Structure 1
Amino acid sequence: MHSGFEDKSREQDRGWDDRFGDFLTNLLFEEGLADSTLLALKNHLIAFNRWLLDTYGRPWDLVQPQDLREYLYATGLNLANSTLQARRWSLKRLYRWALEESIVSIHPNTFVLPVKGNKGKIQVKPPTQRQIKLLLNMPDLSCAEGIRDRAVLELIYATGMRASEILSIKIHEITPQKFLRVWGKCRKERLVVYGEHAQYWLEQYIAVRKEILLDGGHHVFATEKLFVSSGVHADYRYYQLRRMVKRYSQRCGLNLTPHTMRHAFATHMYEAGASLQFIQKLLGHSHLQTSTIYISNNTKNLKKILVNHHPRGEIYKSRTRFKHESIGNKFTT
């Protein structure tokens, strides 16, 4: 990790929030920013959060749209235009990331923080089924961490879950029924189902999970989270997940993130004929209403859709919307 934004005194700074470290790490991988830029952003986030606490008595994750407008007006009167633009950019990036990670529920566009000369976001083309198959075969299965990586990749592709949802799974939540109840954005509950491939690799990983903990000097009961690390922390962290996906994808000539794998899940399901309505339910998009009763009554239907329309489903056949090459359904070990 870059010490520029993870100094040991951060706990004593009133404006610091540990989630800022995750955000800055995300920026490091997403934008390739220099340490000096990350340090400046860190200081700005601390100052912004401290200002919110002092002015309104609420932290950054409980912000209201008018808070940001007031902050930029109150602190930006004597700033150069370039500095003010940088502050606007950093706040929009922070809240866009926080929305994706289910930390806040307000879209950053509601803050009305225009950035002059801001170019539209480039639409990233999701990987093909063949490219995903190559990616899934990248981990070294001769070691426990390689098996963990394979299980993580299989589960992301099998479910389209967000990175934060993957990392919050507890080990006792893995059952033979091959489904999970997760809480996504705005704490909305939904059902996530997965197939035989993901189940198989989860079983292989769980069998060696304690080896990873022991290699890191952790107690075998150090954490209840499913995915663990041999690093400083027993829990598998966001920056480790992102770095892992990036490393393996680069070996395939790609530049993927956990989020682009989520896109691949949705795209491949749609290409295979699944309706947008069911894809949206599986992804947990915020505009869909879900409830515990609805989820409970539709477990069988969701599983049927998965095995028919997911490229790694048991009875999947390439047949509908777009002409593409099918991949095999056999396990690759």
Structure 2
Amino acid sequence: MAENSIAKSWENYTKRFRHYLKLERSLSENSIEAYTRDVEKLANYISKNFPEKGPKELDLEHLRRFVNTLAQLEISDYTQARVISGIKAFYKYLMYEDEISEDPAQLLEAPKLGRKLPDTLSYQEIVQLLESINLGEPEGHRNRAILEMLYSSGLRVSELTELKKSQVFEDVGFLRVIGKGNKERLVPIGKDALRYLKIYEEEIRIHQSPVRGHEEYVFLNRRGKKLTRVMIFLIIKKTAEQAGINKNISPHTFRHSFATHLIEGGADLRAVQEMLGHESITTTEIYTHLDRDYLRQVLTDFHPRK
């Protein structure tokens, strides 16, 4: 009976944790599922090895043993770090609810991960991509507007596909973007992006008949439905092939290029953070590393004593 009671305890706290992530943290369904799976992994390990322990009875040593089993299963460092992040979030929640007085996960260490710098395109490659789009094709102006906006405003692919007409303020050159966690931000949009967006709206989209429920989305496919993330990936892949660019390019490449070119041009890091919608400036700081690499390359290429 005691074991059944403890299992119910894990189930109860996990369920409440899900509600907290959804209602108070406003996380996406994918993030909520990932955090829930992390807690369930811990619960399964504890039920097998320390069946008398509920979530509130664990200490740092129990959590370290759980993490060690992840390493023994040859789970990648990245996955281990993600699971540990989920466990830390769970115990922060228990602290927040005053269910525990000390956080056993506070000193739980994750594997050190090398910071991978994202791929970027040079400005010349951006121009090469944009100019390779055939504006004589039915989707040409739409695709040009899409890529111009990805580069001009640093949007995430989901932010682009979910963009609605009411979120575009052409008169002042801004977009009202709904980002991660339903957080809203204002992002400037460049003149070229606005120009191609206007052409698409006034000469192409106006002749389409949107499917019911899709009337307000900015970018539509041939059938009158909003574009999917996959479709944006395919558009970019096809455009890169046409332009003769062999890099592995995704929608995120435009976002990285947007940020990198701003930093290289001397933009304030806080301003770039705001435009990208990063919660922490440490996420934005990766672009200062890219900038230093760029400066080092300039020195190597052009300084007489290298």
TM-score interval, smaller chain: 0.5 to 0.7
Q: Report the 3-state secondary structure (helix = DSSP H, G, I; strand = E; otherwise coil) of the residue aligned with 2:177.
A: strand
* Cα displacement string for residues 261-282 of structure 1 (whole angstroms, at most 9, x for unaligned residues): 1111111112222222222222
- After TM superposition, list the pairs within 5 Å mapping 1:1-333 onto structure 2: 56=15, 58=18, 61-62=31-32, 67-75=36-44, 85=75, 89=79, 92=82, 120=114, 122-174=116-168, 175-206=170-201, 207-211=203-207, 213-214=208-209, 218-219=210-211, 222-231=214-223, 234-250=225-241, 251-287=244-280
* Cα displacement string for residues 158-197 of structure 1 (whole angstroms, at most 9, x for unaligned residues): 1112112212211233333211122323433322112210
Partners of 2:41 and 2:124 lie apart in 1 by 47
Query: Is the contact between residue 271 and residue 321 of structure 1 (CA under 8 Å) also seen in structure 2?
Result: no
Partners of 1:234 and 1:272 lie apart in 2 by 38
Partners of 2:221 and 2:177 lie apart in 1 by 22
TM-aligned CA deviation for residue 133 of structure 1:
0.6
Distance 1:246 1:92, change over 3 A: farther
Query: What is the percentage of aligned positions where both structures have the same residue?
Result: 28
Partners of 1:228 and 1:53 lie apart in 2 by 43
Query: Is the contact between residue 271 and residue 322 of structure 1 (CA under 8 Å) also seen in structure 2?
Result: no
Q: Report the 3-state secondary structure (helix = DSSP H, G, I; strand = E; otherwise coil) of the residue aligned with 1:236.
A: coil
Structure-2-length-normalised TM-score: 0.58
TM-aligned CA deviation for residue 247 of structure 1:
2.5
Partners of 1:52 and 1:135 lie apart in 2 by 51
Q: Report the 3-state secondary structure (helix = DSSP H, G, I; strand = E; otherwise coil) of the residue aligned with 2:175.
A: strand
TM-aligned CA deviation for residue 122 of structure 1:
3.6
Distance 1:52 1:240, change over 3 A: farther
Partners of 1:146 and 1:270 lie apart in 2 by 30
Partners of 1:53 and 1:243 lie apart in 2 by 43
Matched letter for residue 208 of structure 1: I
Partners of 2:157 and 2:109 lie apart in 1 by 27
Matched letter for residue 123 of structure 2: Q
TM-aligned CA deviation for residue 248 of structure 1:
1.7
Query: Is the contact between residue 144 and residue 209 of structure 1 (CA under 8 Å) also seen in structure 2?
Result: no
* Cα displacement string for residues 214-251 of structure 1 (whole angstroms, at most 9, x for unaligned residues): 5xxx54874211011125x7011111112222222243
* Cα displacement string for residues 71-125 of structure 1 (whole angstroms, at most 9, x for unaligned residues): 1134466999887838x949949x99xxxxxxxxxxxx99x7968xx97464234
- Gaps in structure 1 of 5+ consecutive residues: 1-50, 97-108, 289-319, 325-333
Partners of 1:133 and 1:248 lie apart in 2 by 12
Partners of 1:279 and 1:75 lie apart in 2 by 42
Distance 1:71 1:124, change over 3 A: same
Partners of 1:268 and 1:53 lie apart in 2 by 48
Matched letter for residue 85 of structure 1: I
Q: Report the 3-state secondary structure (helix = DSSP H, G, I; strand = E; otherwise coil) of the residue aligned with 2:187.
A: strand
Note the aligned Cα RMSD (angstroms). 4.2
Q: Which has the higher helix share?
A: 2
Q: Report the 3-state secondary structure (helix = DSSP H, G, I; strand = E; otherwise coil) of the residue aligned with 2:75.
A: helix
Distance 1:242 1:90, change over 3 A: farther
Figure out how many residues of one structure are paired with residues of the other and give that number.
Answer: 222
Query: Is the contact between residue 187 and residue 275 of structure 2 (CA under 8 Å) also seen in structure 1?
Result: yes
Partners of 2:109 and 2:187 lie apart in 1 by 35
